[in-house]
């Protein structure tokens, strides 16, 4: 089998890997912001709850979380697991995991903003919501972009962990193809895909960072 034929056979898996990457970001980025608000809340119960959630998500392997989300409904509630649930289990596990990391990144960015900016906005008549989204949040985004880039790049590679619940993304298909053909070329193809994908992400994030350079 030629390299081109291998790439063509891996295309469905590549599409699923991109799907995991895209929807994880769509769900985890706003969820992470909400969790960071809870983590900084004046309500002790909410603050401790979010702190515990972050600790569990960051302190246990993503692969274990995938297994819990996928098999949990059956073992805990007796709900029958269907093949169509695999993709939902992957997206749920990835989203809640990465939301915890993004929450701490957001928190670090928000807490790095000088207190004087809040006071100045208050004097100008801004509400708390206006102050945050018009003045604070754009600066936070600028400051956290390097850390966010690292997490997004890690996400690209972590999509391969979906093999733990036999979801047919690219790495799962690559392993099966390499085993059946006794050939290393599928792994080479997978490596090229991950590298190019990560390169695109890094370049896109770098351009975004440059566009926000006026906050320096």
Question: What is the pTM assigned to this prediction?
Answer: 0.90
pLDDT for residue 67? 95
pLDDT for residue 16? 93
Q: What string of DSSP letters covers the chain?
A: --HHHHHHHHHHHHHHHHHHHHHHHHHHHHHHHHHHHHHT-S-HHHHHHHHHHHHHHHHS-HHHHHHHHHHHHHHHH-PPP-TTHHHHHHHHHHHHHHHHHHHHHHHHHHHTS-HHHHHHHHHTT--HHHIIIIIIHHHHHHHHHHHHHHHHHHHHHHGGGGGGGT---HHHHHHHHHHHHT-SHHHHHHHHHHHHHHHHHHHHHHHHHHHTGGG-
pLDDT along the chain (216 residues), means of 10: 85 93 96 95 94 96 95 90 91 97 94 85 82 85 89 93 89 88 88 93 87 62
Place of tokens 């890094």: 202
pLDDT for residue 4? 85
pLDDT for residue 214? 56
pLDDT for residue 216? 52
pLDDT for residue 60? 96
C-alpha–C-alpha distance, residues 75 and 85, integer Å: 15
């Amino acid at each position: 089998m030629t390299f081109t034929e291998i790439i063509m056979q891996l295309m469905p898996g590549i599409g699923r890997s991109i799907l995991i990457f895209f929807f994880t970001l769509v769900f985890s980025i706003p969820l992470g912001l909400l969790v960071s608000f809870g983590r900084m809340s004046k309500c002790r119960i909410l603050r401790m709850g979010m702190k515990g959630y972050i600790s569990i998500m960051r302190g246990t392997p993503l692969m274990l979380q995938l297994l819990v989300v996928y098999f949990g409904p059956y073992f805990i509630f007796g709900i029958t697991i269907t093949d169509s649930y695999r993709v939902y289990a992957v997206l749920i596990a990835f989203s809640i995991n990465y939301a915890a990391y993004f929450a701490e990144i957001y928190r670090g960015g928000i807490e790095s903003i000088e207190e004087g900016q809040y006071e100045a906005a208050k004097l100008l008549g801004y509400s708390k919501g206006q102050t945050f989204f018009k003045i604070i949040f754009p600066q936070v985004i600028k400051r956290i972009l390097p850390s966010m880039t690292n997490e997004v790049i890690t996400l690209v590679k972590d999509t391969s962990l979906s093999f733990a619940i036999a979801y047919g993304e690219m790495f799962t298909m690559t392993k099966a193809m390499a085993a059946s053909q006794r050939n290393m070329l599928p792994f080479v193809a997978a490596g090229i895909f991950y590298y190019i994908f990560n390169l695109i992400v890094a370049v896109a994030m770098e351009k975004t960072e440059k566009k926000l350079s006026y906050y320096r």
